[in-house]
Structure formats: structure tokens, C-alpha cells
Amino acid sequence: MSIEFRRFDPYLTRDLRTEALTARGRLKVLPASFYASTSVEERAVFGARTAAYVLPTTELVEWLRRFIGGRSALEIGAGNGVLAEALGITAADSCMQRRPEIAAYYRALQQPVVQYGANVQERDAQAAVRHYKPKVVVAAWVTHKYEADRHDAGGNQDGVAEEDVIAQCESYVFIGNRHVHRGKSIWKLPHVSFEPPWLYSRAHNGSPDFIAVWGRVPGPLADV
């Protein structure tokens, strides 16, 4: 796989905010055809300006609805809460970017912090899963928990212990990017994945975005 990080001037790219945000500054769920008409640079700048990682499409929402079916579901690390809201499921996040020291760190980087949705409950992933006991857990771009013996794999001290989440639910659905999320320890566990053409994110490293599932898959993944 060829990884190619791009350098670009954000002032020379089309600003997607007027088209992809509501009047209140909330991400819209848009057809994949909208993002197909944009460039990698435009999506990366848009994601950086809005603290958005996955760019929700109607196709992604419909796929997740079919996958969840009639099962109970929870989104962890839900951030702005747009995806959970579109799915009509419970949303939870540790809301760590509200902490003064984390907010100061992002200010130093001149990066906006996540604007947590009103539908997002402040609970860390493991606590939320144990409280709600969902059959399906959805996670988009969540960071795994840092482990000292896997230093090169990165992660975050406050990240998600994904093995524990997988053990507590029937299906764990992760939406991410092949290069960004290559260090997850759960890759060693049985899973299936695919790279749908309607999946978009802020990634600009040249590797594809993907959906992976640990646990029960109710049919061929691409056809769910």
C-alpha cells in the first residue's frame, strides 16, 4: 500500500462549510455524491476546521441501519453526535476535549475542539457499554487505549479498551482509515472488513477508509 501524505494550503481550497453544515454549524448527512465531487484537500481542511473525522453520508447511515436491524445499539466516542442522531440510537463520549488542559492543547495547535452534540451523554466507552448493554456498538475513528508494551502502536491513555467492548456486545462496528488505525490491537481478533465507495473522512494519507466488524455479521458485509 502506498502512503502519501499531502501538503496543501487551506486558503487555496474550496470551503465546504457553507454546503456541508447546517445554519447552526452542525454536520449535515449528505449523499456520497456530494463528497465524491470534492477533493482530498477540501475534505481534509473541512475536517480540520470543524473537528470532524468521518463525514456522514446517507449511504453510511442506511448501511448501519440495515446492519443494526432491530437490535439495540450504542455509538461510543460519538463526538458531535450526528451519526447516532441520524440512526436514532444512544450516543456516549468521554467528552475529554472539554477538559481545560485538553482544550488548551488544541488551542496551542490552533485546532478546534469537538462540539459535543446535545444528544451525547458524557460516559466513557466501557461504562456506557456496561450501562446500556447494547447488542451493537458503533465507533467511528475512536482512539484505542495506549499500552506501554505496545508503545509504537500509539493510542491514548484515555482511549477505548476495545477488547473489553468487543467482549460485552454482539457486534462491534468500527469505521476508520487503514493507515490511521493500523495500530489497533484488535486486528489480531477475528473480524471482517470492506472499503465501500460511499465512505468519506478527513484522511489525506492515500489509504482507504473502511468498515470492520468484530462479532456477529448478519449476512455478507457489503450487502447488509
Residue 7 has pLDDT above 80, yes or no: no
Query: Which grid cell sits at 156?
Result: 491514548
Residue 10 has pLDDT above 80, yes or no: no
User: From CA 137, how far away is CA 193, in angstroms rounded?
Assistant: 16
Q: List, as one string, the DSSP characters of 23-61.
A: TTSPBP-B-HHHHHTS-HHHHHHHHHHHT--EE-BHHHH
18 versus 112: which is more confidently predicted?
Answer: 18
pLDDT band at 11 (very low <50, low <70, confident <90, very high): low
Residue 158 has pLDDT above 90, yes or no: no
Domains observed in the chain:
10-219 (3.40.50)
Report pLDDT for 159: 75
Q: List, as one string, the DSSP characters of the chain.
A: ---------GGGS--THHHHB-TTSPBP-B-HHHHHTS-HHHHHHHHHHHT--EE-BHHHHHHHHHHHTTS-EEEES-TT-HHHHHHT-EEEE--GGGSHHHHHHHHHTT-PPP---TTEEE--HHHHHHHH--SEEEEESPPBBP-GGGGGG--BTTSB-HHHHHHHSSEEEEEEETTTTTT-GGGGS--EEE--TT-EES--SSPPEEEEEEE--SS-GGG-
Query: Which grid cell sits at 10?
Result: 487551506
Compute the mean pLDDT over every residue in the chain, rounded to the nearest whole number: 91
pLDDT band at 153 (very low <50, low <70, confident <90, very high): confident
pLDDT band at 6 (very low <50, low <70, confident <90, very high): low
pLDDT band at 155 (very low <50, low <70, confident <90, very high): confident
pLDDT band at 122 (very low <50, low <70, confident <90, very high): very high
Least confident of 3-7, 17-21, 95-99, 194-198: 3-7
pLDDT band at 221 (very low <50, low <70, confident <90, very high): confident
User: pLDDT tens for residues 44-100?
Assistant: 999 999 999 999 999 999 999 999 999 999 999 999 999 999 999 999 999 988 988
